[in-house]
């Protein structure tokens, strides 16, 4: 397996990053997960734009999009796979112990992992912890993901594949690695970015292609929504058949099934929408 590091391809087994890299010591980094189908990345331009937005949010230098594109192409060429997940990690680089940044430049790593096609529906839980929609990292895709790791572990313990967060004012926000949509009286709604959710790329495409509305939603909307679905790079559009103890029989329901069809069709036609 080959990864991209320090400007070129390296063997995964021998590639080395400083043990004082700030991505490791203080979670000072940003990342993207990009789906690759038959060796071609999906929506790479949107991912690069978000990588830059996240980097700016942390005060990191802008990533060089040409280099990241070259890195993705080289990693995909070196590791052929019908379906893969490219992981672009961009950190503050080697620095002093503590939170001050050093003089060293950023670290860029591009790696390819495996993924499988999503099941059509899944179970989710809600967690009692909140996303801070006014926090410094709100809406940034940073490597400080430990909160998501903890919430996802709780979901797994309960036989679910995703955990959903509310925000500090009790509104529905997002999952550990996905955005959430609900169907109410035939209309599709998703929380606005002001809820503190990530500007998911699948969220934006699904909302545009289905006409979903951005709406402030109380967390307990999940107790009465007719249908619920998730969006993410690796799930695409995925129906939810259980939220906590509430079953949603027949998921995907008609509105979600249509959204899934529309998404698959549009995404299949345009690799960089
Ligand atoms: N929200 C969070 C916290 C995420 O980490 C992700 C993706 O990993 C998403 C939402 C979905 O975003 P995208 O559709 O760009 O994958």
Q: What is the pLDDT along the chain (273 residues), one digit of tens a residue?
A: 999 999 999 999 999 999 999 999 999 999 999 999 999 999 999 999 999 999 999 999 999 999 999 999 999 999 999 999 999 999 999 999 999 988 889 999 999 999 998 999 999 999 999 999 999 999 999 999 999 999 999 999 999 999 999 999 999 999 999 999 999 999 999 999 999 999 999 999 999 999 999 999 999 999 999 999 999 999 999 999 999 999 999 999 999 999 999 999 999 999 999
35-44 core/surface letters (b: 16 or more CB in 10 A; e: else):
bbeebebbbb
- What distance in angstroms lies between residue 217's CA and the mean position of ligand 1's atoms? 19
pLDDT of 57 reads 97
- What distance in angstroms lies between residue 115's CA and the mean position of ligand 1's atoms? 15
DSSP 156: H
pLDDT of 102 reads 80
Which residue lies with its CA nearest to atom 6 of ligand 1? 177
User: Per the structure block, which two tokens stand in for 131?
Assistant: 């996303």
- What distance in angstroms lies between residue 93's CA and the mean position of ligand 1's atoms? 24
- What distance in angstroms lies between residue 233's CA and the mean position of ligand 1's atoms? 7
- With a 6 Å cutoff on the Cβ, whether 122 touches ligand 1 is no
**C-alpha angle 83-117-244 in degrees, rounded to nearest 5:** 145
pLDDT of 78 reads 98
* pTM (two decimals): 0.97
- What distance in angstroms lies between residue 25's CA and the mean position of ligand 1's atoms? 23
User: Per the structure block, which two tokens stand in for 195?
Assistant: 């809820």
CA 132 vs CA 62, 167, 198: distances in Å = 25, 6, 12
Among 127, 129, 200, 267, residue to substitute to test ligand 1 (most atoms within 8 Å of Cβ): 200
- With a 6 Å cutoff on the Cβ, whether 233 touches ligand 1 is yes
- With a 6 Å cutoff on the Cβ, whether 200 touches ligand 1 is yes
| Closest approach atom of ligand 1 to CA 202 | 14
- With a 6 Å cutoff on the Cβ, whether 203 touches ligand 1 is yes
CA 137 vs CA 27, 31, 43, 95: distances in Å = 12, 13, 23, 20
- With a 6 Å cutoff on the Cβ, whether 201 touches ligand 1 is yes
Which residue lies with its CA nearest to atom 2 of ligand 1? 177
């Amino acid at each position: 397996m080959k990864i991209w590091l320090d400007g070129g391809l390296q063997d995964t087994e021998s590639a080395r990053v400083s043990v004082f890299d700030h991505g490791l010591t203080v979670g000072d980094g940003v990342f993207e997960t990009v789906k690759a189908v038959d060796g071609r990345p999906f929506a790479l331009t949107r991912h690069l734009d978000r990588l830059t937005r996240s980097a700016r949010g942390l005060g990191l230098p802008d990533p060089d999009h040409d280099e990241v594109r070259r890195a993705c192409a080289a990693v995909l060429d070196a590791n052929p796979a019908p379906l893969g997940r490219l992981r672009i990690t961009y950190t503050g680089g080697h620095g002093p112990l503590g939170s001050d940044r050093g003089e060293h430049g950023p670290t860029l790593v591009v790696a390819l992992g495996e993924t499988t096609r999503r099941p059509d529906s899944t179970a989710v839980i809600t967690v009692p912890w909140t996303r801070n929609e006014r926090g410094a990292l709100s809406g940034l895709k940073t490597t400080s993901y430990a909160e998501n790791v903890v919430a996802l572990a709780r979901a797994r313990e309960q036989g679910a594949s995703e955990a959903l967060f509310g925000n500090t004012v009790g509104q529905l926000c997002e999952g550990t690695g996905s955005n959430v949509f609900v169907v109410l009286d035939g209309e599709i709604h998703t929380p606005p970015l002001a809820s503190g959710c990530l500007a998911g790329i699948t969220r934006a495409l699904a909302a545009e292609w289905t006409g979903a509305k951005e709406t402030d939603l109380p967390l307990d909307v999940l107790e009465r929504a007719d249908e619920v679905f998730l969006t993410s790079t690796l799930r695409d559009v995925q129906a939810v058949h259980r939220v906590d103890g509430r079953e949603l029989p027949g998921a995907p329901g008609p509105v979600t099934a249509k959204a899934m069809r529309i998404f698959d069709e549009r995404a299949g036609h345009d690799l960089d929408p």
